Amino acid sequence: MSAVMSAHAASCRISPKNLIRILLIPSMLMPGIQTLQAQPDELTFAFTGDIMMGTTYPDSLYQTHLPANNGKELLKAPLDILRQADFTAGNLEGTLLEQGGSVKESKDPNLHYAFRTPPHYVDNLLEAGFDFVSLANNHSNDFGTEGLRSTQKTLKKAGIAYAGLKGLCETTVVTRKGIRFGIAAFSHNALTPHLSHLKKVRHTVSELRRKCDYVIVSFHGGAEGTKFTRVPHSREYCFGEDRGDVCAFARTCIDAGANLVYGHGPHVVRAIELYKDRLIAYSLGNFCTPYRINITGRSGYAPVLTVTTTRDGKFVKGQIHSFIQQHGRGPQRDKTHRAATEIAELTQQDFPQTPVLFSPDGHITRR
C-alpha cells in the first residue's frame, strides 16, 4: 500500500484491509475495467465473541459506561490479529443508537441490562477490520424498532455486513478476494432465526451453500454463566428460554454445507470440535464488553480465534490468542494463556476424540 493510501486510511480511521476493499469496488473504477484477483489456496479467519463497547443507558450513569476517547483504544491490543485475517467476524451485543428508543420497563434501570452504544463507535470496528457482525442475540432488540433500524443503518453505511434478524436479514453474502462468503446467524429468541428449528437451519445453510463458495455460521446459544462452560450434548434452558442443543445445531450446519461454525452467548468460553474436517467453536465468550457485563474470573477471558482452512473449508491450523478484560478497558494480552488453556481442557473433556492438538500458547494443529 502506498504512503498516500496509508495516510488516508489513518485519517479516515479505516483499516488498510478495508481501504483496499473500498478502492477495489468495480463501480468506482473506469467503466469496462474488471478487477481480477487470484483466488488463494488457503483462507484465514479471525473470530471473536461478544462486543459491547459502552452504553448510554441508564442515562443517569451516562459517563460511567463509556470509555475514554470514544473507545478508540479498546481494540488496540488485538488490532493486528483482527486486521490480518482475510475475514473477521464477531457478535454485536446490543444496539448502535444515539438516544431514545423503546426499552423494556424495569423497576431499577441500574439492574436492567439494555445496551445502547453511540453509532460512531462503529468506527472502532471498521478500523479493526471487521467484515461481519452478528445481530442474532438477545440484545439486538434492546431499544425496539428504532434501535434495530439505527443499528442496521449504521453498519450498512460503514460497509460492515450483518445478519441474524428473522424476516429482515437472516443471511448475507460478502465477496472477498473473488470468493463469495455466505454468512448465516442464529440465536434462541423470537426475533432471530432459531437454532432449534433444525429443518429451517438445514434449508438456510444449504441455500447459502448453493449460492456461495464458502459458508460461515454464527450462533448465540447455550446457557449463561461460569457454571455452563461444558457442551452438554443435549438441549439447554436458561431464564425460561430454550437455548437449543448447540452440538446438534452445529453439526447440522456442517452436514448442510457450512465450512466454519463459531458460537457465543454463554459469556464464557467453551470447547472446539473438528467435525468432518470442519472447525466448530462452541463459544468464544465475551470479547470487548468493558461495562455492564460481568468480566470477573472466567467471564473475563476474551480470546480471538484465528483459523486457516483450504478454500473448501478443510481445517489446516488455528490459534487461540488469549486476551483478558478489565473494567473500562478493551481486551489486553494475557501472557499466561488462560483462554487457550481453558478451551484446550474443555475440548479434551467434551470432545476427547476430536483430532486436534493444542500447544501451551494456543496453537491448534491436526492430531
Cβ(293)–Cβ(304) below 8 Å: no
Residue 110's pLDDT band (cuts 50, 70, 90): low
Cβ(257)–Cβ(206) below 8 Å: yes
Per DSSP, the chain holds a count of helices (H) and strands (E) of 8, 21
**Which helix (DSSP H) or strand (DSSP E) does residue 150 occupy?**
helix 144-158
Cβ(4)–Cβ(23) below 8 Å: no
CA dihedral 358, 363, 364, 367 (to 10 degrees): -60
Residue 193 has pLDDT above 90, yes or no: yes
Other Cβ atoms closer than 10 A to 1:
12
Strand partners, 217: 184, 261
| Percent of all residues in the chain with a pLDDT value above 90, rounded to a whole number | 80
In the block, which residue shows the cell 424498532? 145
Start-to-end CA distance of the chain, whole Å, equals: 38
Query: What average pLDDT does this structure show over 318-332?
Result: 96
What residues contact 4, with CB distance under 8 A and at least 6 apart? Answer: none
pLDDT digit string (tens) for 44-87? 999 999 999 999 987 755 556 899 999 999 999 999 999 999 99
Residue 318's pLDDT band (cuts 50, 70, 90): very high
Residue 38's pLDDT band (cuts 50, 70, 90): low
Residue 109 has pLDDT above 80, yes or no: no
State which amino acid sits at residue 324: I
Q: What cell does 244 get?
A: 437449543
What pTM value is reported for the model? 0.89
- Please give the Cα distance from 315 to 308 (Å, whole number): 6
State which amino acid sits at residue 301: Y
Query: What average pLDDT does this structure show over 184-208?
Result: 97
Q: How far is CA 330 from the centre of its chain?
A: 16
Helices (H), 306-359: 338-350
Query: What average pLDDT does this structure show over 236-259?
Result: 95
- Please give the Cα distance from 227 to 61 (Å, whole number): 30
Q: What is the pLDDT of residue 35?
A: 45
Instruction: From 80, 87, 82, select the one nearest 218 (Cα to Cα).
Output: 87
pLDDT digit string (tens) for 291-305? 989 999 999 999 999
